[in-house]
Amino acid sequence: MAEPAWSTDTGGAVYRSRDPVRNLRLRVRLQRVTSTGLLLQQLPRSAGPPGKQLLGPATPSTAASSCLDDEEEEAVIGWQEKLFSQFEVDLYQNESACQSPLDRQYHQEILKLEKTGGRKNYRIFTYTDHDRFTNLEEHCQKMTNSDYEVTSHLAERMANVRRRRQDRRPMEGSTLKSRIITWEPSEEFIKNNHVINTPVQTMYIMADLGAYGKLGRREYEHVLCTIKVDSNGVITVKPDFTGTKGAYRIELDGEKRELWKYTIENASPQVKQEEEEREQHVFKDLYSRHKEYLSGLVGSEFEMTIPGTLRLFVNGEIVSAQGYEYDNLYVHFFLELPAHWSSPAFQQLSGVTQTCATKELGGDEVAYFSYPFTLEMFFTQEDESEGSLPQWPVLYFEVLSLDFWQRYRVEGYGSVILPSAPGFHTLTVPTWRPVELGTVSELKRFFIGGSPELEDMTYVRVPTTFKGERLSRFGFRTETTGSVTFRLHCLQQSKAFLESSAQRTRMQSVLDRLGGFSQQNSFYTVLEAFQKARRRMQEARESLPQDLISTSASTVHQP
């Protein structure tokens, strides 16, 4: 049977397991491909004259067996199972070289191994998560496939994030002389000693590929496999299990250029069918109980509004204010609810942002508030007549400044009608402020603060206390100031939206019109003007004498 081709895919694979990671087992087979052992295997097959042997040692059978033991090795390794290398055995045999508690633990384990006949592994060994080892090749990989790649600053920083100190042979009798606290650390010190505390455990399966009888040199250590496990049960194996692929290979540098191959298999014990069914039953019961718990928290039914009611929910944000004269701005706002609108008792309809310093951007001074607010309100339909048009809530606001000397000034007033269409809206609203004639008021505003203010902020549009037909603002002097930007996420909920499209096109109720047309806010003014003109015409007809009305009617209807 032909040997499978070499596997060039050395990328990692990610697995997820619900079983404890301590049950993980890996079987690793390591074999030298180009060696004297391969020649010794071919010697008995050499053809030669009868009674003569061309090449071979005096005792070929014993030499071949000893070399073959060195050429091939197999080990079954568990998760975080420690297999010592020859370098570690030589290092930790000397008790004076052990400084940390982990070193002393390894010293005791190696002494026990020596009493039981020595270590069973020869070339294959492991580095656990507690060992001071880092595979530098993992942190020096290129980001692209270009031969002219220049390592970026971010790649260099990330390469040094989890780099650990390399293992060194400590000097005999040496003591720890480093300070516990470094008050003025250098940049190099921070880079070399910074370690991210992540919930990921790492294990390396290594191989010592040194020459026969010369094991224990760090330059001949090679990483066969890297296993990483996090707290969520995600297992990363690099390279992946061999499976049906060919074996991985390692080609050494040097004159001999020896070639090794190895395979990685999952040797974890298989779960019995009875245990698997029992486990599935337990998980099913757990998921059902968790689902019942979540249903109890959320509720079995979706919250619905009562018939004839529109629920308007707004998640808003006061983004920024720009174009104002003074620094240290803040915004005071409140929501006015027209007739037939209401809000829950817990709902706050007013608020004040934090004081924000401005920064120059594009020639303007901009203050970034990023102040969030939430509004919830209900519209209840009471009049089903065709002439009933709802007024949408209005958000009034004023921009104020407060300097270092506690001088307070009004920078501008403005208002914004909440959008009638659901969805995301970005609105930039211009503002103005009242001014007085003369320079005295401006000097007072500059030196001691204070400025003309509105007693009723609703005067920005039509005051709530106004009962007349015409609102005159003649003589009221204002000055354009800056602008405020709002972001509004609007959500509308009503049972009228559940009706069929055919019923919505009839526009039987105000709620249908609210849900069917996003442009309704644009023709509010036109409809109101038409209704006012119709009322004025009716009042004019009622004020005329009855005989004049009858005479004009008879004149019009003459044939």
Give the closest residue to 205 by CA, choosing from 69, 71, 26: 26
Q: Which residues pair with 222 in a beta bridge?
A: 207
**What is the percentage of the chain residues whose pLDDT exceeds 70?**
72
Q: How far is 450 from 8, CA to CA, in rounded Å?
A: 78
pLDDT at position 515: 47
352-384 residue pLDDT tens: 999 999 988 888 889 999 999 999 999 987 655
Domain 309-466+473-517 matching CATH 1.10.1520.10: the answer reads no
Q: How far is 487 from 416, CA to CA, in rounded Å?
A: 11
Q: How far is 30 from 248, CA to CA, in rounded Å?
A: 10
40-62 residue pLDDT tens: 455 444 444 443 333 333 333 44
Give the closest residue to 353 by CA, choosing from 337, 376, 329, 322: 329
1 by Cβ neighbours in 10 Å (0-12 / 13-18 / 19+) ranks as exposed
134-162 residue pLDDT tens: 665 555 556 666 767 777 766 666 655 54
pLDDT at position 254: 67
pLDDT at position 179: 61
Q: How far is 146 from 21, CA to CA, in rounded Å?
A: 38
pLDDT at position 523: 53
Pull the structure tokens for residue 354.
Answer: 């934090």
170-185 residue pLDDT tens: 444 444 445 667 778 7
- What pTM value is reported for the model? 0.43
293-303 residue pLDDT tens: 888 887 766 77
110-132 residue pLDDT tens: 999 888 888 888 899 999 988 87
**Cβ atoms 513, 520 nearer than 8 A:** yes
pLDDT at position 356: 92
- Name the residue ranges covered by the structural domains of the chain: 1-38+70-83+120-138+190-270, 309-466+473-517
Q: How far is 408 from 75, CA to CA, in rounded Å?
A: 79
Give the closest residue to 205 by CA, choosing from 272, 127, 152: 127
Annotate 60-85 with b (16+ C-beta within 10 A) or e (fewer): eeebbeebbebbebebebbbbbbbbb
415-460 residue pLDDT tens: 999 998 899 999 999 999 998 877 777 777 777 777 888 888 888 8
pLDDT at position 166: 38
Higher confidence at residue 523 or residue 433?
433
Pull the structure tokens for residue 53.
Answer: 């042997």
Q: Please spell the DSSP secondary structure of 343-368, one letter per residue.
A: --TT---EEEPPPB--EEETTEEEEE
